[in-house]
Amino acid sequence: MKKVVAADQVVSLRVSDTADEIELVLRVEGGDETVVRLPADQLAPLAAWVEQTTARAEPDTGPLSGKGPIFPVELWTVRPEPDEEHVILGFRMGKGMEVSLRMHRKAAGAYVQALSSLLGRTLPASPSKARH
């Protein structure tokens, strides 16, 4: 079950005695405090997400303007899903943050055409079915 915690302030952050867990104490609405415990190995990705989302390099002026941050991509990958109907687009941002997007092949084809159009390039023609 997911629980949304809207915090007004981070009261404290400490590492457990065994160094395998992080404990965040958050002050929530009304002055109460809530404790959030995370595995220690989750601190680096959490810090990367915070750093990436608070340091936008460019203003967001596209059709999804205001819907989210812009992330500079350092490395990308594409791989097919076992169901052969979807592909996975993987992106690695600065500071090691990674995100993967699952996209239907038809949508991926439209994405490729849009990118090609934007970049001023044409796609190779489909192979002819006529016999020569």
Flag whether 130 is in a domain. no
Q: Is the pLDDT of residue 110 over 70?
A: yes
Q: Which residue has the tokens 């500079």?
A: 72
Flag whether 128 is in a domain. no
89 and 46, same structural domain? no
Enclosing domain of residue 99: 71-122
Kindly state the tokens that stand for 34. 């809530």
User: Are 5 and 28 spatial neighbours (Cβ–Cβ below 8 Å)?
Assistant: yes
Q: pTM for this structure?
A: 0.47
Mean pLDDT over the full length of the chain: 78
Mean pLDDT, to the nearest integer, of 104-121? 86
40 and 78, same structural domain? no
Q: Work out how many domains the chain is built from and give that number.
A: 2
Q: Find the angle CA(81)-CA(85)-CA(88) to the nearest 5 degrees.
A: 40
Mean pLDDT, to the nearest integer, of 100-109? 90
Flag whether 63 is in a domain. no
Q: Is the pLDDT of residue 48 over 80?
A: no
Flag whether 102 is in a domain. yes
Q: Is the pLDDT of residue 128 over 70?
A: no
Confidence of residue 131 (pLDDT cuts 50, 70, 90): low
If one compares 43 and 77, the residue with the highest pLDDT of the two is 77
77 and 117, same structural domain? yes
111 and 77, same structural domain? yes
> What pLDDT score was predicted for residue 9?
84
Alpha helices in 1-132 (DSSP H): 43-54, 105-119
> What pLDDT score was predicted for residue 52?
65
* 122: DSSP letter: -
Flag whether 51 is in a domain. yes
